[in-house]
Chains A and B, each alone.
Chain A
Amino acid sequence: MVCLGSALLPAVRAGLTAPLAALRETAVDTSGASRPRAVTGTALIALAVALTLAGVLVAPSVWLAGAGAVLALVAFVVLGPVASTTAVRILGGPLHRLRGVTGALARRNALRSPKRTAATASALMIGVAVVSLFTVFGASLKATMDQTVSRSFAGDVAVSAPSFGAGGSGLSPRLADAIQEVPEVNTAVGLGRGVAEVDGEGRALTVTDPVALERTFDLGKVDGSLRDLGTDGIAVTEKEAGRQHLATGDTAQLTFTDGRKETFTVRAVYGRSELAGDYVITRAAWAPHRTQDSDSLVAVTFQDGVSPDAGKAAVEKVADRYGNPEVQTRDEYAQSSAGGIDMMLTLVYALLALAVVIALLGIANTLTLAIHERTRELGLLRAVGQTRAQLRAMVRWESVLVAAFGTAGGLALGAFLGWVLVRASDGASDSAFAFALPPAQLAVVALVGCAAGALAGLRPARRAGRLDVLRAIATE
């Protein structure tokens, strides 16, 4: 069905071609760059951007933003033939000066059929768009982690179970106390995770010593006091408090996993959640409901005057006795929190490499066909003095230009979609997301895209180089 469907349009178009037009040799096919197409494409782009911006900035909605993103993709495909002319002209601009007439010819050839150039490049464009989308999203996640750790983690080292982020399989609750005994350490606070239903929804609770927490984490502006939460007090972030219309002194009902309900009094409302979580209760309050007692993170602050290395070594010595969890400085902690992102990206890249290879096969096939169509012209060029090497370079450069167009479009689309995804995630989740464009990685993507174009052009170029001059001239 898909095959049949995709063959339909070319078949109809072939049927519509006037017999005489088919006999004439057309050098430059401008059918793709029509005005209606330009107008439709521009309108689609405008609509896509409007939808996305509305979904991201005005009325945060993942659906609206998603619809906008999909529409942007469609608009790019529609605009492709119009854009390819301009883009190839610009991208190929330096070619003439760089490679002389070989470069100029390559550029003109890439401009010959805007529709074909766009169609050929679109597979690569989508591949590159997805790659750069993930690259941007990954970098943004890392930046978010970094920002979170540096903003709210005031400690010197973090001890966490060797796994992703602060989730972990758990640290012994006695570790925090043991580290507290080390003379170099000022404060060591363990953070455990609990779950309870608040206001009808399951929420993650941070189970800790609130007083020590305040010393190791920057909680922002605190209304009320974390000092005496006791067994029936809870501290909530401003955001959550605002959502549930809670203020200090109000009560909230928590339903624990063991089924028991308890009423807690809000004793403090604090500004920053990030690492500390949205709800904080004491160990004593959590103790009756716990199934397993463990910390996921121990945050440690050194005494004044203790060097980071000495402090870290001292903490490591103690940690050794408790299953040797990782002791990391702030930077290391932020980086390891992002470690999972790198792994996810590697996986995604591996899958996308396949998509890019397929896109390259498409470019190679189109070029091979084009060379076949231009047999006489290539024969003429060879007859009047184009060397094989020049002919091959001409074909390769055309391939690079087509790939460069696809790559540029993909980068723009990917960066935009990445921004949308980050903003939409920001709007949809409690924690603040940072947006980051990683220039080095995107430059690598651009380079790889263009290099892949050169690679795709190798075979067609070799084939063109083998062309027999006389037979090419004689071809009707």
Chain B
Amino acid sequence: MTTTTALTTTRPAARVVDAVKVYGGGDTAVRALDGVTVTFPAGRFTAIMGPSGSGKSTLMHCAAGLDTLTSGTARIGDTDLGGLDDRRLTLLRRDRVGFVFQAYNLVPTLTVAENITLPLDLAGGRGDPEWIDALIDVVGLRDRLHHRPAELSGGQQQRVAVARAFAGRPDVVFADEPTGNLDSRSGQEVLGLLGRAVRETARTVVMVTHDPVAAAHADEVVFLADGRLVDRMDSPTADRVLDRMKAFEVPS
């Protein structure tokens, strides 16, 4: 597995420019995103933070091709998502994006092993067996491969989700509150896995969270408020993130 080089960090894995997302219309219209421009560099772990209603989930959904922007552009690598129809968007998510959601990440009828390779199976390929084998060891699920999700703890389920997200070596993995439903120890494990994937195998992770401790695992934190990008912070610590959050909660 390759190590991070200075070159790869300069290439954007995902990027949104002047992103505007309006829900509804007329008087009840809500501007969830109000002109956000942000780049998620390859090989980096970026956290998106902000109070609830700040538009952080919407930003993630639009950047990941789960939702479409009202105006502005979203790109994964060099691909402009605005020009893709539903089928192409789906194929892009399958082949180039990984997902870890807050809950209900796994297909209950599939085994752990099948859940991990689901995107690859949907593509009809086998992926890279060595990479997947290594992933299984990293997330520590070798003895659970033939279990069903219902037989796993919440933390184990999230670890399966992490393994699935990285199985196809995607350009970028989006994680939406991946530790939101976990106790702190399991949460630490999952965050540790995401961090290791970025630092040891040069993957790219974008994580939405409201937890300063979780955000501290990232290389960089971007802060969102009222649909706008308001700040960014390199090499965050939990205390600094917490202070920053408090700071912009006061004026608003």
Query: Do A and B come together as binding partners?
Result: yes
Q: Residue A305 at the B interface, CB < 8 A? A: no
**Is B94 in the interface zone, CB < 8 Å from A?**
yes
Question: Contacts of A108 on B, CB cut-off 8 Å?
Answer: 109-110
Q: Which B positions have Cβ atoms within 8 angstroms of A?
A: 61, 66-67, 86-87, 90-91, 93-95, 99, 101, 104-110, 114, 118-119, 121-124, 148-150, 164
Contact of A385 among B94, B106, B107 (CB under 8 A): B94
Chain B residues, Cβ within 8 Å of A380: 101, 104-107
How far is A74 from B148 in the complex, measured between Cα atoms in Å? 34
Nearest chain B CB to A386 CB, angstrom units: 5
A470 interface residue (CB < 8 Å to B): yes
Name A residues whose Cβ lies closer than 8 Å to a Cβ of B: 25-28, 100-102, 104-105, 108-109, 111-112, 376-377, 380-390, 469-470, 473
Residues of chain A with a CB closer than 8 A to B93's CB: 383-385
Q: How far is the CA of A363 from the CA of B18 in the complex (A)?
A: 48
Given contacts A101-B118, A385-B91, A387-B91, contact A469 B66 (CB under 8 A): yes
CA distance A339 to B70 in the complex (A): 69
Q: Which residues of chain B come closer than 8 Å to A112, judged between CB atoms?
A: 109
Contacts of B164 in A (CB 8 A): 384
Q: A105 and B110 in contact (CB under 8 A), knowing A27-B148, A386-B122?
A: yes
Complex-state Cα separation, A473 to B161, whole angstroms: 15
Q: Which of A25, A28, A109, A390 contacts B122 (CB 8 A)?
A: A390
Given known contacts A27-B109, A27-B148, A473-B101, A387 and B118 CB-to-CB distance under 8 angstroms: no
Given known pairs A109-B109, A383-B66, A473-B101, the reply for A27 and B94 (CB within 8 Å) is: no
Q: How far is the CA of A25 from the CA of B95 in the complex (A)?
A: 29
Please state if B109 and A385 are interface contacts (CB–CB under 8 Å): no
Q: Which of B90, B119, B123 has the most chain A CB atoms inside 10 A of its CB?
A: B90
Contact: B109 with A384, CB < 8 Å? no
Those 7 A-B pairs whose CB atoms lie nearest each other, nearest first:
A385-B94, A27-B108, A108-B109, A101-B121, A385-B119, A387-B90, A385-B122
- B119: A residues at CB distance < 8 A: 384-385
B contacts with A: majority SS = helix
Q: How far is the CA of A25 from the CA of B107 in the complex (A)?
A: 12
22 examples of A-B residue contacts, CB within 8 angstroms: A27-B109, A27-B149, A28-B109, A101-B114, A101-B118, A101-B121, A101-B122, A102-B122, A112-B109, A376-B104, A377-B108, A380-B106, A381-B107, A384-B93, A385-B95, A385-B122, A385-B123, A386-B94, A387-B90, A470-B66, A470-B67, A473-B66
**B residues in contact with A102, CB < 8 Å:** 122
- Taking the closest CB of chain A, its distance from the CB of B126, in whole angstroms, is 11
A109 to B91, CA, bound (A): 23
Name the distance in Å between A190's Cβ and chain B's nearest Cβ. 72
Q: How many whole Å from B173's CB to the nearest CB in chain A? A: 11
Partner among A100, A109, A111, A388 whose Cβ is within 8 Å of the Cβ of B86: A388
Alpha-carbon separation in the docked complex, A470 to B61 (Å): 8
B108 contacts A25, C-beta separation under 8 Å: yes
- Residues of B close to A101: CB separation below 8 A: 114, 118, 121-122
* B109–A100 touching, CB < 8 Å: no
Residues of A within 8 A of B66 (CB): 383, 469-470, 473
In the complex, what residues of A have CB within 8 A of residue B91's CB? 385, 387
Known: A384-B164, A385-B90, A385-B91. 15 other contacts (CB 8 A): A27-B108, A27-B109, A27-B149, A28-B150, A100-B121, A101-B118, A384-B118, A384-B119, A384-B122, A385-B93, A385-B119, A387-B87, A387-B91, A470-B66, A473-B101
> Considering only CB atoms, which chain A residue lies closest to B107 in the complex?
A377
Complex CA–CA separation, A26 to B109 (angstroms): 10
**In this complex, which of A101, A108, A111, A470 has the most chain B Cβ atoms within 10 angstroms of its Cβ?**
A101
Partner of A384, one of B86, B99, B104, B124: B99
Bound form: Cα–Cα A207–B123 in Å = 78
Q: State the Cβ distance, B145 to closest chain A Cβ, in Å.
A: 16
| A381 proximity list for chain B (CB < 8 A) | 107, 118, 122
Q: Which residues of chain A are within 8 angstroms of B108 by Cβ–Cβ distance?
A: 25, 27-28, 377
